[in-house]
């Protein structure tokens, strides 16, 4: 019956692969471990829908961004909120603290290890014997057949302080400390990298939302232009100068712009939610954001020299972390090789025993038989030992550990080389993206001026009866596309500038 206790827990798992699992739910709706109980609670219908646990939302809700009347959040303010609210920075911080504690744990092996132990107890024994020479206890009453009974009662206590101290191990602990310190350096670097990633993600989300909001604003302006063309077509039809075909085309163009506006408004809302998620705050917040549409862009074609690229690579967090990981792997090889060398240690204890107790067992009854313990009177003892431990044979365990450490070192060095190469590629690609976006913005600005002139002329000509509605609609579409292209190129340049700062490790 006792052997079936472990398999009895199968009752808490799904009964079969084709049937839904019935969870254990409290009266408040929280999921509980174990099999479904008979306590009063929610009765779930059979199916694959899980209950709603209110405690999940209570413990997992992000902070809410405060919004005061008339307040707008700048990009810098959102970044400041994200650096404290985003879960990525907190996880990186905890990882860095754990790495620092790992260094302390390894350094503690240089110190002696002391233990204090107190053992106390009481014993009672009762026996019958017909040989008085084997009796050592006190005799009580006689049995019916006259056999004397022996009773033995006693209590005892043992107090011990033990010492274990590894004095010298030919540099193994020193190599382990260096390994831990390099690993800690890598985690500290990655903590900075986590902040840079949060800064970059918030920056790109901020500009992406600004681009979506501007696109929606431009489409609202384009809708006004389409409605103006439609009104002119309807007026010309009423005056007998236009045709129903012109009115139909104008209404079709207005409907198309309306559809694009609805899609742009949905994208505006989605990018807003993405921005709040990047900041690590609740998506329920509604706050005002800074308008950055009027920022002047520098059109100078600046290029990074080879020396600037090398300096940028040398300060990237991922490169620095990979370099620290490679050094940590090198020290790990040293520590593995030191395991072949002797160790000098010291051990000892101070013990004090008092009392009177007996614990007997039958010698040779089996491997589980306890030794005989007899404590009588008081005794104080001190033991100090020193020795040297020389490893001789372990079935190839240490050799395998060295080989594994060497493989890890080779992989770490390969990762460093790949990280450096990828970093150079990312920096050059980010530089090209910035150059392309600035050129696109310049070209789109010129196209926008020409498109505005074309629309004004085409619309005026159509309204005066010398042009066609087709030309006016083509000009209006051209103006809308030019406006959106110029806006997208503008925000693409801002995102590319942030990408160049991030790829060079200088985004702060």
Contact between 312 and 140 under an 8 Å Cβ cutoff? The reply is no
pLDDT of residue 145: 58
For residues 317-333, average pLDDT: 94
The angle formed by the CA atoms of residues 36, 39 and 41, to the nearest 5 degrees, is 85
Name the more confident of 293 and 50.
293
What tokens appear for 88 in the block?
């990525």
The pLDDT-based confidence of 43 (bands split at 50, 70, 90) is low
Tell me the pLDDT tens digit for each residue of 115-145: 999 988 887 777 665 554 544 455 455 555 5
Report the SS3 class of residue 319: helix
Name the more confident of 23 and 315.
315
Lowest-confidence region among 158-172, 225-239, 430-444, 489-503: 225-239
pTM assigned to the model: 0.79
Report the SS3 class of residue 372: coil
Tokens 């019958």 map to which residue?
128
Say whether pLDDT at 6 is over 80.
no
Tokens 């404290």 map to which residue?
84
The pLDDT-based confidence of 299 (bands split at 50, 70, 90) is confident
pLDDT of residue 294: 82
- State the CB neighbour count (10 A cutoff) for residue 90: 13
Question: Exposed/middle/buried for 172, CB within 10 Å: 0-12, 13-18, 19+?
Answer: buried
What is the 3 state secondary structure string of 233-277? HHHHHHCCCCCHHHHHHHHHHHHHHHHHHHHHHHHHHHHHHHHHH
pLDDT of residue 375: 54
Name the percent of the chain lying above pLDDT 70. Answer: 85
pLDDT of residue 67: 63
Tell me the DSSP string of 403-421.
HHHHHHHHHHHHHHHHHHH
In whole numbers, what is the pLDDT of the chain averaged over residues? Answer: 84
* Element holding 298 (H helix, E strand): none
pLDDT of residue 134: 47
Tokens 């014997």 map to which residue?
129
Tell me the pLDDT tens digit for each residue of 56-81: 776 766 677 776 666 888 999 999 98
Tell me the pLDDT tens digit for each residue of 197-207: 999 999 999 99
* Element holding 381 (H helix, E strand): strand 373-389
CA distance 32 to 23: 7
pLDDT of residue 136: 47
Say whether pLDDT at 44 is over 70.
no
Lowest-confidence region among 94-103, 156-165, 241-250: 241-250
- State the CB neighbour count (10 A cutoff) for residue 88: 17
């Amino acid at each position: 019956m006792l052997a079936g206790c472990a398999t009895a827990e199968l009752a808490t798992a799904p009964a079969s692969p084709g049937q839904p699992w019935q969870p254990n739910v409290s009266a408040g709706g929280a999921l509980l471990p174990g099999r479904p109980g008979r306590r009063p609670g929610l009765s779930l219908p059979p199916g694959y829908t899980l209950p709603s646990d209110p405690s999940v939302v209570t413990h997992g809700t992000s902070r809410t961004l405060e919004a005061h009347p008339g307040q707008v959040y700048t990009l810098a303010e959102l970044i400041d909120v994200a650096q404290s609210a985003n879960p990525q920075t907190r996880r990186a911080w905890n990882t860095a603290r754990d790495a620092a504690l790992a260094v302390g744990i390894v350094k503690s092996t240089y110190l002696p290890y002391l233990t204090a132990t107190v053992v106390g107890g009481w014993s009672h024994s009762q026996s019958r014997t017909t040989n008085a020479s084997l009796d050592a206890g006190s005799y009580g009453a006689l049995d019916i057949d006259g056999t004397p009974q022996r009773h033995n009662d006693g209590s005892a206590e043992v107090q011990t302080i033990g010492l274990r101290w590894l004095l010298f191990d030919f540099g193994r602990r020193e190599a382990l400390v260096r390994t831990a310190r390099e690993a800690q350096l890598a985690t500290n670097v990655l903590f900075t990298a986590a902040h840079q990633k949060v800064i970059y993600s918030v920056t790109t989300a901020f500009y992406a939302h600004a681009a979506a909001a501007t696109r929606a604003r431009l489409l609202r302006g384009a809708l006004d232009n389409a409605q103006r063309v439609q009104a002119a077509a309807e007026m010309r039809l009423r005056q007998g100068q236009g045709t129903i075909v012109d009115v139909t085309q104008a209404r079709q163009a207005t409907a198309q712009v309306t559809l694009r506006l609805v899609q742009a408004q949905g994208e505006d809302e989605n990018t807003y939610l993405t921005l709040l998620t990047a900041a690590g705050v609740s998506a329920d917040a509604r706050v005002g954001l800074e308008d950055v549409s009027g920022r002047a862009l520098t059109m100078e074609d600046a290029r990074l020299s080879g020396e600037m690229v090398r300096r940028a690579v040398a300060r990237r967090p991922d490169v620095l972390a990979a370099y620290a990981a490679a050094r940590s792997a090198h020290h790990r090889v040293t520590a593995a090789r030191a395991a072949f060398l002797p160790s000098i240690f010291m051990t000892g204890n101070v013990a004090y025993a008092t009392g009177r107790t007996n614990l007997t067992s039958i010698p040779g009854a089996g491997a589980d038989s306890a030794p005989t313990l007899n404590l009588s009177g008081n005794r104080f003892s001190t033991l100090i030992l020193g020795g040297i431990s020389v490893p001789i044979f372990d079935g190839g365990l240490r050799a395998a550990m060295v080989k594994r450490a060497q493989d890890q070192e080779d992989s770490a060095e390969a990762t460093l080389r790949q990280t450096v190469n990828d970093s150079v590629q990312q920096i050059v690609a980010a530089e090209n993206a910035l150059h392309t976006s600035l050129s696109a913005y310049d070209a789109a600005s010129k196209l926008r001026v020409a498109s505005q002139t074309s629309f004004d002329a085409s619309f005026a000509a159509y309204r005066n009866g010398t042009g066609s509605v087709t030309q006016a609609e083509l000009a209006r579409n051209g103006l809308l596309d030019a406006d959106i292209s110029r806006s997208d190129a503008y925000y693409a340049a801002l995102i590319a500038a942030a990408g160049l700062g991030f790829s060079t490790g200088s985004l702060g």
